[in-house]
Amino acid sequence: MTDDRLLTGKRRKEDQDQSLRPQLLSQVIGQERVVENLKILVSAAKARKEPLDHILFYGPPGIGKTTLSTVMGKEMGVNVRPTAGPAIERAGDLAAILTHLREGDILFIDEIHRLGKAVGEILYPAMEDFVLDIVVGKGPAAKNVRLNLPRFTVIGATTRLALLSSALRSRFGAIYRLDFYSLEAMNLIVKRAAEMLRIPTDEGGASEIASRARGTPRIALRLLKRVRDFAQVRGDGTITRPIADEALDLLNVDHLGLDDIDRRVLISIIEKGGGPIGLETIAAAISEESDTIMDVCEPYLIQLGFLDRTPRGRTVTRKAYDHLKIPYNGRDDQTSTEQNPLF
Ligand code: ADP
């Protein structure tokens, strides 16, 4: 896998553009239903002069989970302490973080599905009763000590709701799914970012980028920056539709936003008769990480109606054959009737 792939779900250095992040709920574009709910949470908590309830956001990478968490911190006027499931290795690591929180602070835990079991056991009572049970000393002299914690808020983010234990899920007062953005919202996001980064962009250029960014703000921002380079080198610096079109073709991002890896996923299944085939088999066939396929490719391919997930594996639909211009092999309806959750 090359490191300059556009459609990776992982954060990269080029994404660290804090200035592009909306600061307040009123500046958040799209996700209207979630934003409405969050406004109510904020108003209610402020009126009661209480910290926010624990919140869980789930959805594909780059969709705004971290952004909304920082926005919640700004709305409440509290600090947001960011961390991530894999970064908290031992129970002691979490205890150290918790004891440094102040009343009302937000602890943002990204990839919360990757928290270890021992860490979870410390987190549950902390979330529920704001206490920390620790063992002091060793051997026969060891004592259980209970510390009171300030009332804080956990905001968890995950791409895989299904991997969260029901014990952890039940600790969250509010759980929100973030969906892919509409084309209209994507257009606004591209235009706003172009304005803030002072990249001359016309309507056609912005809408070309928006329509190929697979409903994901992080991808839209990456595409915008790559197209800016192209516009500087091959054009007069302005992003127009023909410039965006040419640049994105060169980047191998097609008009629906599919890149090489999406196409290879589909083709690997088609080569095996259209499926059903298992995730691990696909990952091995195309030498990609199964996490990338599951988190980044599949949700979008499913949303496009190109891929189905069935208990026996993944199948490709006729729509995908048509998109790839591969003759459909005449099978009867491959579309499964079984509904499976995305995450
Ligand atoms: P996640 O935590 O879901 O992986 P992020 O919150 O890091 O995603 O968002 C990725 C990028 O997309 C951020 O840099 C942010 O600037 C931008 N972004 C996310 N949501 C929005 C939004 N609703 N409006 C404008 N920009 C957004």
- Beta pairing, strands 307-310 & 313-316: antiparallel
Contact indicator for 259, 299 with CB cutoff of 8 Å: no
Q: Note the pLDDT tens digit of each residue in 57-91.
A: 999 999 999 999 999 999 999 999 999 999 999 88
Distance 209 CA to ligand 1 centre (A): 16
**Superfamily of the domain at 31-177:** P-loop containing nucleotide triphosphate hydrolases (3.40.50.300)
From the list 171, 191, 214, 218, the catalytic residue is 218
Q: What architecture is domain 260-324?
A: Orthogonal Bundle (1.10)
pLDDT-derived band at 311, boundaries 50, 70, 90: confident
Longest dimension (CA), the chain: 76
pLDDT of residue 17: 67
Q: Are the CB atoms for 314 and 275 separated by under 8 Å?
A: yes
Helices (H), ranges, the chain: 32-48, 65-76, 91-99, 117-129, 166-169, 183-196, 203-211, 217-234, 241-250, 260-271, 279-286, 290-292, 298-303, 318-324
Res. 168 pLDDT band, cuts 50 70 90: very high
Is 159 labeled as catalytic in the residue annotation?
Answer: yes
Q: What pLDDT, on the 0 to 100 scale, is given for residue 303?
A: 95
The pTM of the full predicted model, rounded to 2 decimals, is: 0.90
Ligand 1 centre and the CA of 335: distance in Å?
32
Is 21 close to ligand 1, i.e. is its CB under 6 Å away?
yes
Catalytic residue, from 5, 67, 105, 110: name it.
110
- Residues 250-294 pLDDT 10s: 999 999 999 999 999 999 999 999 989 999 999 999 999 999 999
Indicate if 65 belongs to the active site.
Answer: yes
Residue 53: DSSP 8-state: P
Give the Cα separation of 315 and 336 in Å (integer).
Answer: 8
Q: What's the confidence (pLDDT) of residue 330?
A: 61
Which of 27, 67, 225 has most ligand 1 atoms within 8 Å of its beta carbon, as the pocket-test mutant? 67
Ligand 1 pocket test target in 19, 26, 218, 224 with most atoms within 8 Å of CB:
218
CA distance 43 to 148: 27
Percent helix, strand and coil across the chain, each rounded to 5?
Answer: 50, 15, 35
- For ligand 1, the distance from its centroid to the CA atom of residue 218, given in whole angstroms, is 6
Is the pLDDT reported for residue 242 higher than 50?
yes
Asked if 6 contacts 247 with a C-beta cutoff of 8 angstroms, the reply is no
Of residues 243 and 338, more confidently modeled: 243
**1-49 confidence digits (pLDDT tens):** 344 566 665 666 666 667 788 999 999 999 999 999 999 999 999 999 9
Domain-wise residue ranges, the chain: 31-177, 260-324
Q: What is the pLDDT of residue 335?
A: 47
> What does the pLDDT read at residue 128?
94
